[in-house]
């Protein structure tokens, strides 16, 4: 049995086991507390590091560095995505005990979309290498937009999925804990919570279009791309509730993430021009950039952030 096959088996078993614990066993819980969110965030990060150690042992140092670099990229991009989720829940008025339910299904949907994007993207890049130029330019543009554009206001009525659903599904007028309420007169009546899920899933789709090209700048190995993505996604639910308690604490993090995206985009373009940036240097740039952004956010945080920390 090859090392890659062994790690595929380990990955499938580990993720399946953790899905049962993190999602199924917690389905009746309400809003996740700060302490619980912090604990689960640490657990998922440690599992990713342990899995990376397994890759190092079975597949070698290069693959392990690719996994860790990809994981850090996806994890950092996830932070920016979660702030968008917080805005979505605020706009729709989704209370804490229902946020976990939406995030559970949103995470599962994100994993499915990543699977599709990864295998299609890898096949296209191997067949049409000029796509690296397009993906690289897309990442640089996304970085510029993230750094210098203001926060986009969430407007559910303009979301195409919401428009489509409202066209065919009669709506209730308040948030409920169920997606569909009852079947009357041969019509399914949808709750606003279902619309929240549609907006979250459509946001996941947009995020996948940014994050997948970013990881392809590191490696085209489907195993590394998929595993690093899934480990980052699986920790999103706990990370969401952790960050929702610290909203505004990491004011400069988006600039660090934007810089990472720009670096990865330039790396992708240079790779096509014959200039190869070592994976170890890429990892160092990502770690240092995130560290500087976090430290700057903590040192320059506003007084009201300290009040949030005391009450979290």
pLDDT tens digits for 198-252? Answer: 777 777 776 777 677 778 888 888 899 889 988 988 888 788 777 766 655 667 7
Give the distance from CA 94 to its chain's centroid: 20
Instruction: State the CB neighbour count (10 A cutoff) for residue 181.
Output: 15
Q: How far, in Å, CA of 78 to CA of 233, rounded?
A: 8
Q: Tokens 């619309």 label which residue?
A: 195
CA distance 206 to 212: 10
pLDDT, residue 55, reads 94
Strand, helix or coil for residue 114: helix
Tokens of 161: 């999925």
* Full-model pTM: 0.75
pLDDT, block means (10 residues), the chain with 312 residues = 88 86 60 77 91 93 92 80 73 70 77 79 78 81 76 57 60 48 42 71 71 80 89 82 68 81 85 82 86 84 53 48
pLDDT at residue 154, rounded to an integer = 54
pLDDT, tens digit, 9 for 90 and up, residues 160-206:
666 665 665 555 545 444 444 444 433 344 556 677 777 777 777 76
Integer Cα distance of 44 and 236 in angstroms: 9
- At 169 the pLDDT is 57
Count of alpha carbons within 13 angstroms of residue 227, beta-carbon side = 30
Return the pLDDT at 51: 94
- For residue 197, the model assigns a pLDDT of 75
Q: How far is CA 58 from the centre of its chain?
A: 27
Nearest to 287 by CA among 260, 252, 250: 260
Tell me the C-alpha to C-alpha distance, in Å, between residue 57 and each of 3, 50, 52, 61, 279.
Answer: 9, 11, 9, 8, 18
Tell me, what's the pLDDT at 187? 39
Q: Which residue has the tokens 């009669």?
A: 170
Q: Please report, for residues 148, 168, 192, the alpha-carbon distance to residue 178 in angstroms, rounded to integers and kept in the order given.
A: 39, 18, 9
Contact (CB, 8 A) for 264 and 215? no
C-alpha span between 312 and 303 (Å, rounded): 15
CB 243 within 8 A of CB 24: no
How much is the pLDDT for 64?
93
Tokens (6 digits) for 216: 């392809």
Question: Are 266 and 137 contacting, i.e. CB atoms less than 8 angstroms apart?
Answer: no
CB neighbours (10 Å) of residue 218? Answer: 26
């Amino acid at each position: 049995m090859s090392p890659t096959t062994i790690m595929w088996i380990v990955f499938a078993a580990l993720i399946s086991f953790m899905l049962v614990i993190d999602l199924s066993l917690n389905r009746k819980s309400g809003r996740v507390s700060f302490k619980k969110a912090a604990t689960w965030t640490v657990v998922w990060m440690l599992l990713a590091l342990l899995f990376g150690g397994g890759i190092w042992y079975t597949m070698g140092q290069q693959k392990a560095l690719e996994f860790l670099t990809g994981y850090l990229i996806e994890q950092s991009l996830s932070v920016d995505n979660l702030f968008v989720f917080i805005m979505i829940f605020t706009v729709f008025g989704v209370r804490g005990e229902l946020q976990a339910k939406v995030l559970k299904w949103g995470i599962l949907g994100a994993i499915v979309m990543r699977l599709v994007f990864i295998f299609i993207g890898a096949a296209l890049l191997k067949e049409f290498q000029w796509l690296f130029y397009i993906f690289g330019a897309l990442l640089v543009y996304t970085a510029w937009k993230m750094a210098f554009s203001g926060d986009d206001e969430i407007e559910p009525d303009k979301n195409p999925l919401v428009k489509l659903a409202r066209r065919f599904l009669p709506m209730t007028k308040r948030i409920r804990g169920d997606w569909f309420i009852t079947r009357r007169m041969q019509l399914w009546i949808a709750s606003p919570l279902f619309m929240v899920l549609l907006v979250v899933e459509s946001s996941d789709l947009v995020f996948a279009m940014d994050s997948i090209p970013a990881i392809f700048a590191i490696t085209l190995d489907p195993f590394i791309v998929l595993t690093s993505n899934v480990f980052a996604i699986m920790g999103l639910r706990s990370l969401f509730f952790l960050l929702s308690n610290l909203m505004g604490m990491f004011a400069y993090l988006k600039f660090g993430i934007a810089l990472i995206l720009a670096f990865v985009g330039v790396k992708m373009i240079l790779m096509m021009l014959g200039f190869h940036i070592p994976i170890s240097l890429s990892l160092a740039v990502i770690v240092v950039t995130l560290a500087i952004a976090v430290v700057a956010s903590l040192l320059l945080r506003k007084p009201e952030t300290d009040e949030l920390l005391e009450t979290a």
